């Protein structure tokens, strides 16, 4: 087991005009479960492949423990990778699939057998060791792929969307199993997913990437409560944070002709920077419904009732009676949600508004908690 460091790691594919991963700085602690998340094409797999040694780093350094592995071939890095498609050998049994890398490495048969049985026990695969992959369910194949990584007792596990071939229910169950297994084994793990719920539920910390740039790396709680910029704010959380353009005034923001009170420190910081507009963010659960005349009016267009929760999607009505895009998402009382077509009056709870610079997208809300 070991810590992992990306130090200004950059990768530009041959013929590409810009780096797919750009000056990535990331320190992953020994035993940590770090998730790399971001939209398709943001550079997640590339970051992982750089660490695995499957791509040549263009600039910068990668270290595993105190070893500089930047130019080492994959087999000398002492890591095990789990891919999305599992890449199992169809003609080999589960046991042979799991032990194959050890056999190639010249390990004795007895030792291989012991390790395979231990891993099979951990993964509940003991009854299936003599089967071929085609006689297994998707979830069992996924566990064989995990087993193949575990038997090697590597310094780190690298996983690239290992759950994406499973159906929704199994995915939820398996993500809990993988997180629990990782905690039990304590092996440093870098896990790639495009699914922010997976990222938030599994990671000790989560690194958010966009266009090859690291946006923020933090605990799930901090990413949610204090997103560093408007992109992270919109990407983390489901349903997503409401993000609207506002004009700044003394002590607040003008939103469709209504004044929304904002933290003084945020307004002052923006005014000092010469800004007159900002992006205001508030989560669906950060609103309360208030009496007419207080807050801002929203005409409800759709109501989603989920049982434990209910969400109203609606349009802000301006002081002059026009409606403004985008649709706002409001979490409402699931026992008495508003009706479609109704106008509700909405206030953002004190301290729960997020303010981002219109120019840079960066968070300007001062810390108040």
Inter-residue contact 317 to 292 (CB < 8 Å): no
Residues 6+ apart with CB under 8 A from 301: 313, 314, 315, 327, 340
The smaller minimum CB distance to Mg ion, of residues 42 and 228, is found at: 42
Note whether 46 binds Mg ion by CB under 5 A.
no
Note whether 44 binds ligand ADP by CB under 6 A.
yes
Q: Which stretch binds Mg ion (CB under 5 A): 45-53, 106-114, 240-248, 361-369?
A: 45-53
Concatenate the DSSP letters of all residues of 261-306 into one string.
E--HHHHHHHHHTT-SEEEEEE-GGGEEEE-TTSSEEEEEEEEEE-
Note whether 17 binds ligand ADP by CB under 6 A.
no
Inter-residue contact 313 to 329 (CB < 8 Å): yes
3-state class (DSSP) for residue 135 = helix
CB of 214 to Mg ion, least distance (A): 16
The smaller minimum CB distance to Mg ion, of residues 21 and 310, is found at: 21
Residues, the chain: 369
CB of 336 to Mg ion, least distance (A): 43
CB of 34 to ligand ADP, least distance (A): 15
Inter-residue contact 200 to 220 (CB < 8 Å): yes
By CB under 6 A, the residues from 275 to 334 that bind ligand ADP are none
How many residues of this chain bind Mg ion (CB under 5 A)? 1
DSSP assignment letter at 128: G
The smaller minimum CB distance to Mg ion, of residues 17 and 40, is found at: 40
Residues 6+ apart with CB under 8 A from 169: none
Residues 6+ apart with CB under 8 A from 227: 216, 233, 236, 241, 281, 354, 363
Q: Which of 5, 22, 45, 189 binds Mg ion (CB under 5 A)?
A: 45
β-strands 59-64, 67-68 pairing: antiparallel
How many residues of this chain bind ligand ADP (CB under 6 A)? 11
Note whether 23 binds ligand ADP by CB under 6 A.
no
Q: Which stretch binds ligand ADP (CB under 6 A): 43-51, 71-79, 175-183, 214-222?
A: 43-51
Neighbours of 164 (CB within 10 A): 13
CB of 210 to ligand ADP, least distance (A): 10
Inter-residue contact 67 to 51 (CB < 8 Å): no
Q: Which does 13 bind (CB under 5 to 8 A by kind): Mg ion, ligand ADP, none?
A: ligand ADP
CB of 41 to Mg ion, least distance (A): 8
Q: Which of 20, 22, 182, 196 binds ligand ADP (CB under 6 A)?
A: 20
Integer Cα distance of 239 and 369 in angstroms: 23
CB of 329 to Mg ion, least distance (A): 28
Note whether 16 binds ligand ADP by CB under 6 A.
yes
CB of 209 to ligand ADP, least distance (A): 7
The smaller minimum CB distance to Mg ion, of residues 42 and 328, is found at: 42
Binding site for ligand ADP (CB under 6 A): 13, 16, 20, 38, 40-46
Residue numbers of the site for Mg ion (CB under 5 A)? 45
């Amino acid at each position: 087991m070991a810590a992992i460091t990306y130090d200004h790691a950059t990768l530009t594919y041959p013929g590409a005009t810009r780096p797919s991963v750009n000056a990535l700085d990331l320190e992953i602690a020994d035993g940590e479960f770090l998730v790399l998340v971001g939209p398709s094409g943001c550079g997640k797999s590339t970051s992982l492949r750089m660490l695995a040694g499957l791509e040549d780093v263009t600039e910068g350094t990668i270290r595993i423990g105190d070893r500089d592995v930047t130019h080492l071939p994959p087999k000398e890095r002492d890591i095990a990778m789990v891919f999305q498609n599992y890449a199992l050998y169809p003609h080999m049994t589960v046991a042979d699939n799991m032990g194959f890398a050890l056999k190639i490495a010249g390990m004795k048969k007895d030792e291989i057998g012991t390790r395979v049985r231990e891993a099979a026990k951990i993964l509940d695969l003991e009854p299936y060791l003599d089967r071929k992959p085609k006689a297994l369910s998707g979830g069992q194949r996924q566990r064989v792929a995990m087993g193949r990584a575990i038997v090697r007792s590597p310094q780190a596990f690298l996983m690239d969307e290992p759950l994406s071939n499973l159906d929704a229910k199994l995915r939820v169950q398996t993500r809990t199993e993988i997180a629990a297994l990782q905690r039990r084994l304590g092996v440093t793990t870098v896990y790639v997913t495009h699914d922010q719920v997976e990222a938030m539920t599994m990671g000790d910390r989560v690194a958010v990437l966009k266009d090859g740039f690291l946006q923020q790396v933090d605990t799930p709680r901090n990413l949610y409560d204090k997103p560093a910029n408007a992109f992270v704010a919109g990407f983390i959380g489901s349903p997503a944070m409401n993000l609207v353009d506002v004009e700044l005034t003394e002590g607040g923001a003008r939103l469709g002709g209504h004044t929304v009170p904002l933290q003084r420190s945020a307004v002052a910081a923006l005014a000092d920077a010469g800004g007159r507009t900002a992006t205001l963010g508030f989560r669906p659960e950060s609103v309360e419904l208030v009496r007419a005349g207080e807050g801002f009016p929203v005409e409800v267009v759709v109501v989603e009732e989920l049982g434990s929760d209910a969400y109203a999607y609606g349009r802000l009505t301006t002081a002059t009676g026009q409606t403004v895009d985008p649709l706002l998402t409001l979490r409402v009382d699931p026992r008495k949600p508003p009706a479609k077509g109704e106008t509700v009056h909405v206030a953002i709870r004190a301290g729960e508004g997020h303010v981002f610079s219109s120019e840079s997208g960066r968070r300007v809300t001062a810390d108040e908690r």
